Each structure stands twice: as C-alpha cells, then as structure tokens.
Amino acid sequence: MAAKVFIDGEAGTTGLGIARRLAGMAGVETLSLAPERRKDPGAKREAFARADVAILCLPDSAARDAAELAHGLGAAAPRLLDASTVHRVAPGWVYGFEELAPGQGALIASARDVANVGCYATGSIALLRPLVDAGLLPADHPVAINAVSGYTGGGKPMIAEYEAGRAPAFELYGLNFDHKHLPEIVRWSGLSRTPVMIPSVGNFPQGMVVSVPLHLDGLPGRPTAADLADVYRRRYAGARKVAFRDNPADGRLDALPPADPDMMEIRAFGAPAAPEAVVTARLDNLGKGASGAAIQNLALMLGLVAPMAAAA
C-alpha cells in the first residue's frame, strides 16, 4: 500500500519542489487540498488525519501552529517533516541531515518528528562538523562563514524583484548578525562559539557556495589542506548525497548548481606550503538545500531506502 503524504504549503517554492519530486516517487500517494481550503483548520486537520507523513512548507509561526494541530490528533497524528526554521533545535525533533554523523539516518528513519535542514546550514555543517569531530578544529575556534546563494532562496518577494530587474547584481545581507540559520549551525556543527556568518545573494536563480577560510597554523597540529581533504574523503565515503570532489585545475569555483541538484560537493583548497586553506560546499539551494533534502528524509521515514552506513 502506498504511503500517504500531505504537503502543507504546497504552493510555495519548497512545496512545489517537493511535489515535483514526489510525482515520480514510487510507493507514495500525495494528498492535496483545494486552494480555497488550504487555510481552513478543519480541512487541514482532516488531511493530517489521513496522512502517514505531513510535510510542513510554511513560515515559522504557521509551521508551529500546524505542528500543534497535528500533535493534537493523538493516535491519528501523522509523522511530521518540517521545512521551516522553527523546530531545527527544538527538543524532541530529529535534525534532518542524514550526513551529519554516523547513525543520523537511523534516527531520522525512526523519528516521529523531523526538522529539515536549512540551505546555508547544510553547507556550513557539512564543512565544520567533520573537522570538529576529527579534532582539527576546536569547538571554540573563531570561524567565519561566507556564502552566496541564488535569489530563489529569498522567497516570492525577492524572486519577483530579481525577475523584474529591480534587484542589485550582488548584495550582502544578514548584517545584523542574527541570520535564522545560525542557531542550527552552532548546535549541529559542534561549535561552542557562534561563527561570523556573512550570507549574500547573487543575480542568478539557483545555486550556492558556502566557504570557510582557515589559518592552518592556528589549528591544533597545524594540519595541511591535504589533511582536511582526507577528513572529508573518509567522512563522506559512501554518503548518499554528499561527495568530496577534486579541485578545479583553474582554481575557480562558480555557485551554479551541481549536475544533480540534490547532491552537495565538498572541496578543500590550499597550496602545499601555504598556512591557509579554504573549504567549500557547493549545492543547489532549492535541491539539497531544501526540497531534495526533504525527499531524502521522507524516503528514510517511509522505509523506502535504508539508512546509509556512514564512515566515521
């Protein structure tokens, strides 16, 4: 029997991406509400009661209310996969990033409630957590994260501005230092000190590069860029949707999406004798950074794929 999946917020950017992927997914039946009933609490409650899994693609406050509504159904409540920010560090919710650490996929597979990882957080955590776990990056080390994303990550208002030609070619934002992804980056990267995060948006639809510069001579044991590469190569060996890649020969890296939009590419740049390195994550902000990650989590929750045996 096909598993029933309800997308609450299916008309948004992430919801549309999930619905498109579900259309070609065996073993799943998608439930839907007519547009005029999507904000009706009664209709939503009925859809939740019919679903095996409900995916929340809503603003934070609406996602919180929807989760409360679903949990109030008791034994009839569906499992939840929340694509908003609100539950990513909340007690009782499992963080939906299978490649976070060995065993994370099994936690997602058995969880009642899963919080889908954020786009900037996906790249940042994939770069930082392996280095912290390996002892190469102290948890209290001062870290700076630079990142650029395509404009589709900004939602419908930003998309409209760019597509109308009214937006700048490039801009920094989040300069009040309270970007919504910072709490999950700190919590799940293993850092104890909040990094300086400088996000930006460019005049291209999709794609993202997250980069972290490191002074290697200030790290324990003075590792080389090759040492960092070895950590990533081991950590992501056998990973489903994260891969370590060799560096481009020309020393350049664009922010366009990988050929597989649900894949993330990890690299470590540095000259052999240089005391500096830059580690990078390239991904599609709407793929591995949003809808693709949700489908990966959903497949685990429904038992459509087995949790990967990630390398330590």
Instruction: Tell me how far CA of residue 247 lies from CA of 27, 77, 265, in angstroms.
Output: 39, 47, 10
Please indicate whether residue 57 is annotated as part of the active site.
no
Taking phi over 0 as left and psi of -120 to 50 as alpha, with beta for the rest, 229 belongs to alpha
Positive/negative CA dihedral, 97, 130, 107, 182: negative
Mapped onto helix, strand or coil, the DSSP state of residue 215 is strand
| Integer Cα distance of 47 and 72 in angstroms | 13
Taking phi over 0 as left and psi of -120 to 50 as alpha, with beta for the rest, 66 belongs to alpha
Among residues 51, 54, 63, 119, the one annotated as catalytic is 119
| Integer Cα distance of 254 and 252 in angstroms | 7
| Integer Cα distance of 236 and 96 in angstroms | 17
Find all residues with CB under 8 Å of 34, minimum gap 6, and list them.
none
Nearest-Å Rg of the Cα atoms of the chain is: 20
Positive/negative CA dihedral, 125, 128, 134, 138: negative
The torsion angle over the Cα atoms of residues 14, 183, 199 and 116, rounded to 10 degrees, is -20
Helix (H) or strand (E) holding 90: none
* Residues annotated as catalytic (active site), given as ranges: 119
